[in-house]
Structure 1
Amino acid sequence: MQSALAELDRLDHAILRILATDGRIAVTELARRIGLSKSPTQARLKRLEDGGIITGYRAMLDPIRLGQAHVAFVEVKLSDTREAALQAFNKAILAVPEVEECHMIASRFDYLLKVRTSDIQDYRRVLGERISALPHVASTSTHVAMEAVKEGAF
Protein backbone atom coordinates (compact mmCIF):
# COMPACT_ATOMS: atom_id res chain seq x y z
CA MET A 1 0.00 0.00 0.00
CA GLN A 2 2.85 2.40 0.80
CA SER A 3 4.26 2.17 -2.74
CA ALA A 4 0.81 2.86 -4.23
CA LEU A 5 0.46 5.96 -2.05
CA ALA A 6 3.89 7.18 -3.12
CA GLU A 7 2.76 7.10 -6.75
CA LEU A 8 -0.24 9.37 -6.15
CA ASP A 9 0.26 13.04 -6.91
CA ARG A 10 -1.69 16.08 -5.69
CA LEU A 11 -4.30 15.70 -8.46
CA ASP A 12 -4.93 12.07 -7.52
CA HIS A 13 -5.36 13.09 -3.89
CA ALA A 14 -7.72 15.88 -4.94
CA ILE A 15 -9.82 13.40 -6.94
CA LEU A 16 -10.00 11.05 -3.95
CA ARG A 17 -11.02 13.86 -1.55
CA ILE A 18 -13.78 15.01 -3.90
CA LEU A 19 -15.08 11.48 -4.56
CA ALA A 20 -15.08 10.69 -0.84
CA THR A 21 -17.64 13.44 -0.32
CA ASP A 22 -19.47 13.22 -3.67
CA GLY A 23 -19.17 9.85 -5.40
CA ARG A 24 -21.81 10.81 -7.97
CA ILE A 25 -20.00 13.88 -9.28
CA ALA A 26 -19.93 14.08 -13.07
CA VAL A 27 -16.50 13.60 -14.61
CA THR A 28 -16.76 17.00 -16.30
CA GLU A 29 -17.40 18.69 -12.91
CA LEU A 30 -14.63 16.67 -11.28
CA ALA A 31 -12.26 17.72 -14.07
CA ARG A 32 -13.24 21.37 -13.63
CA ARG A 33 -12.67 21.21 -9.87
CA ILE A 34 -9.18 19.72 -10.15
CA GLY A 35 -8.18 21.89 -13.12
CA LEU A 36 -7.84 19.23 -15.83
CA SER A 37 -9.78 18.42 -18.96
CA LYS A 38 -12.22 15.50 -19.05
CA SER A 39 -10.01 12.92 -20.82
CA PRO A 40 -7.02 13.07 -18.44
CA THR A 41 -9.42 13.06 -15.48
CA GLN A 42 -11.13 9.93 -16.81
CA ALA A 43 -7.72 8.30 -17.32
CA ARG A 44 -6.75 9.10 -13.73
CA LEU A 45 -10.05 7.69 -12.45
CA LYS A 46 -9.52 4.47 -14.41
CA ARG A 47 -5.95 4.17 -13.10
CA LEU A 48 -7.16 4.69 -9.50
CA GLU A 49 -9.90 2.08 -10.00
CA ASP A 50 -7.66 -0.44 -11.80
CA GLY A 51 -4.97 0.02 -9.15
CA GLY A 52 -7.41 -0.79 -6.37
CA ILE A 53 -7.22 2.65 -4.74
CA ILE A 54 -10.89 3.23 -5.58
CA THR A 55 -12.62 -0.02 -4.70
CA GLY A 56 -16.18 1.00 -5.53
CA TYR A 57 -18.95 3.54 -5.17
CA ARG A 58 -21.89 3.36 -2.81
CA ALA A 59 -24.78 5.34 -1.45
CA MET A 60 -24.30 6.76 2.03
CA LEU A 61 -27.43 6.11 4.04
CA ASP A 62 -28.69 8.10 7.01
CA PRO A 63 -29.00 5.49 9.77
CA ILE A 64 -31.10 7.78 11.96
CA ARG A 65 -33.75 8.22 9.26
CA LEU A 66 -33.65 4.46 8.78
CA GLY A 67 -34.43 3.91 12.45
CA GLN A 68 -30.92 2.79 13.40
CA ALA A 69 -29.89 5.62 15.74
CA HIS A 70 -28.47 3.49 18.58
CA VAL A 71 -24.72 2.89 18.30
CA ALA A 72 -22.73 0.68 20.63
CA PHE A 73 -19.09 -0.31 20.53
CA VAL A 74 -18.56 -3.83 21.79
CA GLU A 75 -15.32 -5.29 23.06
CA VAL A 76 -15.28 -9.04 22.40
CA LYS A 77 -12.92 -11.43 24.13
CA LEU A 78 -12.61 -14.91 22.68
CA SER A 79 -12.04 -18.09 24.64
CA ASP A 80 -9.62 -19.33 21.95
CA THR A 81 -7.39 -17.22 19.71
CA ARG A 82 -5.82 -19.93 17.59
CA GLU A 83 -6.16 -19.34 13.86
CA ALA A 84 -9.09 -21.72 13.38
CA ALA A 85 -11.06 -19.96 16.14
CA LEU A 86 -10.30 -16.53 14.70
CA GLN A 87 -11.40 -17.67 11.25
CA ALA A 88 -14.62 -19.15 12.65
CA PHE A 89 -15.43 -15.88 14.42
CA ASN A 90 -14.51 -13.81 11.34
CA LYS A 91 -16.79 -15.86 9.12
CA ALA A 92 -19.70 -15.81 11.57
CA ILE A 93 -19.57 -12.07 12.26
CA LEU A 94 -20.16 -11.36 8.56
CA ALA A 95 -23.68 -12.78 8.94
CA VAL A 96 -24.71 -10.29 11.65
CA PRO A 97 -26.20 -7.32 9.76
CA GLU A 98 -26.32 -5.07 12.82
CA VAL A 99 -22.51 -5.17 13.03
CA GLU A 100 -21.44 -2.20 10.96
CA GLU A 101 -17.70 -2.65 11.59
CA CYS A 102 -15.53 -5.39 13.08
CA HIS A 103 -11.85 -4.92 13.87
CA MET A 104 -9.36 -7.38 15.33
CA ILE A 105 -7.56 -5.49 18.09
CA ALA A 106 -4.19 -5.89 19.81
CA SER A 107 -5.42 -5.27 23.35
CA ARG A 108 -6.85 -6.96 26.43
CA PHE A 109 -9.77 -7.96 24.19
CA ASP A 110 -9.73 -9.47 20.71
CA TYR A 111 -12.31 -7.60 18.61
CA LEU A 112 -14.00 -4.23 18.59
CA LEU A 113 -17.43 -4.10 16.96
CA LYS A 114 -19.53 -1.13 15.94
CA VAL A 115 -23.14 -2.22 16.29
CA ARG A 116 -26.08 -0.18 15.05
CA THR A 117 -29.64 -0.91 16.20
CA SER A 118 -32.92 0.93 16.67
CA ASP A 119 -32.71 1.26 20.46
CA ILE A 120 -31.24 -0.27 23.60
CA GLN A 121 -33.80 -3.10 23.68
CA ASP A 122 -32.94 -4.07 20.11
CA TYR A 123 -29.25 -3.90 20.99
CA ARG A 124 -29.80 -6.15 24.02
CA ARG A 125 -31.48 -8.71 21.75
CA VAL A 126 -28.66 -8.57 19.18
CA LEU A 127 -26.03 -8.91 21.90
CA GLY A 128 -27.76 -11.80 23.63
CA GLU A 129 -28.98 -13.75 20.62
CA ARG A 130 -26.42 -13.00 17.93
CA ILE A 131 -23.10 -11.64 19.19
CA SER A 132 -22.80 -13.72 22.37
CA ALA A 133 -23.70 -16.83 20.36
CA LEU A 134 -20.82 -16.37 17.89
CA PRO A 135 -18.06 -19.00 17.93
CA HIS A 136 -15.60 -18.76 20.82
CA VAL A 137 -17.07 -15.61 22.43
CA ALA A 138 -16.08 -15.68 26.10
CA SER A 139 -17.16 -12.18 27.14
CA THR A 140 -18.29 -8.81 25.86
CA SER A 141 -18.20 -5.27 27.17
CA THR A 142 -20.45 -2.57 25.72
CA HIS A 143 -19.84 1.16 25.32
CA VAL A 144 -22.88 3.13 24.14
CA ALA A 145 -22.15 6.11 21.90
CA MET A 146 -23.84 9.34 22.90
CA GLU A 147 -22.95 11.35 19.79
CA ALA A 148 -20.97 10.85 16.58
CA VAL A 149 -18.48 13.70 16.36
CA LYS A 150 -16.74 12.42 13.21
CA GLU A 151 -17.52 9.44 10.99
CA GLY A 152 -16.17 8.42 7.60
CA ALA A 153 -12.76 8.31 6.01
CA PHE A 154 -12.34 11.88 4.76
Structure 2
Amino acid sequence: MEYIASLNEGTDIIVFLDGDYSDYPQQLTELVAPIIEKDIDFVIGARVKHLREAGSMTAPQIFGNWLATSLMKLFFGSRFTDLGPFRAIKYDKLLELEMEDRTYGWTVEMQLKALKKNFSYQEIPMKYRNRIGVSKVSGTVKGAIFAGVKILTWIFKYGFKK
Protein backbone atom coordinates (compact mmCIF):
# COMPACT_ATOMS: atom_id res chain seq x y z
CA MET A 1 0.00 0.00 0.00
CA GLU A 2 2.88 2.35 0.77
CA TYR A 3 4.21 1.93 -2.76
CA ILE A 4 0.88 2.83 -4.35
CA ALA A 5 0.49 5.82 -2.04
CA SER A 6 3.96 7.04 -3.07
CA LEU A 7 3.14 7.17 -6.78
CA ASN A 8 2.75 10.61 -8.31
CA GLU A 9 -0.27 9.50 -10.32
CA GLY A 10 -3.66 9.09 -8.69
CA THR A 11 -4.89 5.55 -8.22
CA ASP A 12 -8.60 4.88 -8.45
CA ILE A 13 -8.92 1.09 -8.58
CA ILE A 14 -6.78 -1.71 -7.17
CA VAL A 15 -6.98 -5.17 -8.75
CA PHE A 16 -5.80 -8.38 -7.07
CA LEU A 17 -5.16 -11.67 -8.84
CA ASP A 18 -3.13 -14.77 -8.17
CA GLY A 19 0.25 -15.04 -9.86
CA ASP A 20 -0.12 -18.76 -10.55
CA TYR A 21 -1.84 -18.54 -13.96
CA SER A 22 -5.25 -19.63 -12.55
CA ASP A 23 -6.94 -16.28 -13.19
CA TYR A 24 -7.43 -14.75 -16.62
CA PRO A 25 -5.97 -11.21 -16.67
CA GLN A 26 -7.74 -10.71 -20.01
CA GLN A 27 -10.97 -10.47 -18.00
CA LEU A 28 -9.74 -7.46 -16.05
CA THR A 29 -11.96 -5.06 -17.99
CA GLU A 30 -15.03 -7.18 -17.10
CA LEU A 31 -13.95 -7.14 -13.46
CA VAL A 32 -13.58 -3.38 -13.15
CA ALA A 33 -16.59 -2.50 -15.33
CA PRO A 34 -19.08 -2.39 -12.41
CA ILE A 35 -16.80 0.06 -10.57
CA ILE A 36 -16.41 2.30 -13.60
CA GLU A 37 -19.93 2.04 -15.03
CA LYS A 38 -22.09 1.60 -11.90
CA ASP A 39 -19.95 3.12 -9.14
CA ILE A 40 -19.79 -0.23 -7.28
CA ASP A 41 -17.16 -0.18 -4.50
CA PHE A 42 -15.93 -3.78 -4.62
CA VAL A 43 -16.08 -6.58 -7.19
CA ILE A 44 -15.25 -10.28 -6.79
CA GLY A 45 -14.38 -12.44 -9.77
CA ALA A 46 -16.45 -15.49 -8.84
CA ARG A 47 -15.00 -18.87 -9.76
CA VAL A 48 -18.30 -20.40 -10.87
CA LYS A 49 -18.44 -24.13 -11.58
CA HIS A 50 -19.36 -23.95 -15.27
CA LEU A 51 -16.38 -21.65 -15.98
CA ARG A 52 -13.82 -23.58 -13.89
CA GLU A 53 -11.39 -25.92 -15.57
CA ALA A 54 -11.68 -29.49 -14.24
CA GLY A 55 -9.40 -29.91 -11.21
CA SER A 56 -8.72 -26.20 -10.78
CA MET A 57 -10.20 -26.24 -7.27
CA THR A 58 -9.74 -29.10 -4.81
CA ALA A 59 -12.62 -30.65 -2.85
CA PRO A 60 -11.45 -28.94 0.38
CA GLN A 61 -11.36 -25.58 -1.44
CA ILE A 62 -14.85 -26.04 -2.81
CA PHE A 63 -16.23 -27.12 0.57
CA GLY A 64 -14.36 -24.39 2.47
CA ASN A 65 -15.53 -21.75 0.03
CA TRP A 66 -19.13 -22.92 0.41
CA LEU A 67 -18.87 -23.02 4.22
CA ALA A 68 -17.30 -19.57 4.47
CA THR A 69 -19.79 -17.89 2.13
CA SER A 70 -22.70 -19.69 3.82
CA LEU A 71 -21.58 -18.40 7.23
CA MET A 72 -21.18 -14.90 5.77
CA LYS A 73 -24.74 -15.15 4.45
CA LEU A 74 -25.99 -16.34 7.85
CA PHE A 75 -24.16 -13.73 9.95
CA PHE A 76 -24.24 -10.75 7.58
CA GLY A 77 -26.91 -11.46 4.96
CA SER A 78 -24.22 -11.32 2.27
CA ARG A 79 -24.70 -12.45 -1.31
CA PHE A 80 -21.11 -13.65 -1.77
CA THR A 81 -20.68 -17.07 -3.35
CA ASP A 82 -16.89 -17.05 -3.57
CA LEU A 83 -13.73 -15.93 -1.78
CA GLY A 84 -11.96 -15.68 -5.13
CA PRO A 85 -8.64 -13.84 -5.26
CA PHE A 86 -9.39 -12.05 -8.58
CA ARG A 87 -11.02 -8.89 -7.29
CA ALA A 88 -11.14 -5.13 -7.72
CA ILE A 89 -11.84 -2.39 -5.21
CA LYS A 90 -11.81 1.38 -5.23
CA TYR A 91 -8.48 2.51 -3.80
CA ASP A 92 -10.00 4.82 -1.20
CA LYS A 93 -12.31 2.00 -0.05
CA LEU A 94 -9.36 -0.37 0.29
CA LEU A 95 -7.59 2.16 2.53
CA GLU A 96 -10.75 2.48 4.58
CA LEU A 97 -10.69 -1.28 5.29
CA GLU A 98 -7.38 -1.05 7.18
CA MET A 99 -6.40 -4.56 6.10
CA GLU A 100 -4.42 -6.61 8.61
CA ASP A 101 -4.05 -10.18 7.33
CA ARG A 102 -1.05 -10.90 5.13
CA THR A 103 -1.60 -14.66 4.84
CA TYR A 104 -4.49 -17.04 4.24
CA GLY A 105 -7.30 -14.84 5.54
CA TRP A 106 -6.91 -11.69 3.46
CA THR A 107 -9.72 -12.50 1.02
CA VAL A 108 -12.32 -13.13 3.70
CA GLU A 109 -11.06 -10.21 5.80
CA MET A 110 -11.60 -7.86 2.85
CA GLN A 111 -15.08 -9.19 2.21
CA LEU A 112 -16.12 -9.08 5.87
CA LYS A 113 -14.85 -5.55 6.37
CA ALA A 114 -16.57 -4.42 3.16
CA LEU A 115 -19.82 -5.91 4.50
CA LYS A 116 -19.40 -4.24 7.89
CA LYS A 117 -18.81 -0.88 6.19
CA ASN A 118 -21.80 -1.39 3.89
CA PHE A 119 -19.76 -1.07 0.71
CA SER A 120 -21.63 -1.82 -2.48
CA TYR A 121 -20.39 -5.04 -4.04
CA GLN A 122 -20.98 -7.36 -6.94
CA GLU A 123 -19.72 -10.71 -8.18
CA ILE A 124 -18.84 -11.28 -11.82
CA PRO A 125 -18.52 -14.88 -13.07
CA MET A 126 -14.93 -15.52 -14.17
CA LYS A 127 -13.04 -18.33 -15.83
CA TYR A 128 -10.60 -20.23 -13.65
CA ARG A 129 -7.93 -22.70 -14.74
CA ASN A 130 -5.46 -25.10 -13.21
CA ARG A 131 -2.58 -23.31 -11.58
CA ILE A 132 1.08 -23.62 -12.45
CA GLY A 133 2.97 -25.30 -9.61
CA VAL A 134 1.75 -26.50 -6.23
CA SER A 135 -0.26 -24.27 -3.95
CA LYS A 136 1.13 -23.65 -0.47
CA VAL A 137 -2.50 -23.37 0.68
CA SER A 138 -4.65 -25.89 -1.19
CA GLY A 139 -1.75 -28.12 -2.24
CA THR A 140 -0.90 -29.31 1.27
CA VAL A 141 -2.92 -30.63 4.20
CA LYS A 142 -1.15 -28.17 6.53
CA GLY A 143 -1.93 -25.23 4.22
CA ALA A 144 -5.58 -26.24 3.84
CA ILE A 145 -6.01 -26.57 7.62
CA PHE A 146 -4.28 -23.25 8.35
CA ALA A 147 -6.33 -21.47 5.68
CA GLY A 148 -9.57 -22.99 6.98
CA VAL A 149 -8.81 -22.00 10.56
CA LYS A 150 -7.80 -18.48 9.54
CA ILE A 151 -10.93 -17.97 7.42
CA LEU A 152 -13.26 -19.29 10.11
CA THR A 153 -11.50 -17.17 12.74
CA TRP A 154 -12.13 -14.02 10.71
CA ILE A 155 -15.78 -14.94 10.17
CA PHE A 156 -16.47 -15.66 13.82
CA LYS A 157 -14.45 -12.63 14.96
CA TYR A 158 -16.58 -10.34 12.80
CA GLY A 159 -19.78 -12.36 13.28
CA PHE A 160 -19.80 -11.71 17.01
CA LYS A 161 -18.17 -8.27 17.03
CA LYS A 162 -20.56 -5.41 17.61
Quick check: TM above 0.5? no
> By percentage of residues, which structure has more helix?
2
Which protein, 1 or 2, shows the higher relative CO under an 8 Å CA cutoff with sep ≥ 6? 2
Larger radius of gyration: 1
Point out the structure with the larger strand share.
1
Q: TM-score, normalised by structure 2?
A: 0.23
